[in-house]
Amino acid sequence: MLEGLQNEIDAHPEFVGASNRIIKDALNKDGTAQTETWVVSDEPRKLNRTAMLGYVSVASLEAIADFKETDQGKAFKLLFESGSTYDFAHPTTRQMTQNLADAGVITQTEADSLLRVGERSISRAEELWSRKLELEDFE
């Protein structure tokens, strides 16, 4: 058995009589860590353009419109106009979002809110063992 797993099982009275699969699923569930820790999702986390723009202020919307017309904003404009949905778990989308904040086009708070869309809260298993559990961990 994975080191420390029995101690974690013993700490949860709700696990008494539960199968290894149920325990594994419970400990692997996103958002079950005792400390709030976020990581970029392995799964796409998409927003459509309208929803994305809803994360920023009117002043930032105006700044985005102006920025798209600058030499510095060419790459952003290409990404922005390439589709109607954006995956905030994808590295390029995340970098472009951070670039907007770094350039002062949107606030860091707005960027953080958008970046959080592409993240997930970790599981208790990831908190303890830096990975999700497998059934073999119970052997």
What's the confidence (pLDDT) of residue 113? 98
Residue 53 to residues 10, 48, 71, 92: CA-CA distances in angstroms?
Answer: 47, 9, 22, 18
Q: What is the pLDDT of residues 59-108, one digit of tens each?
A: 999 999 999 999 999 999 998 999 899 999 999 999 999 999 999 999 99
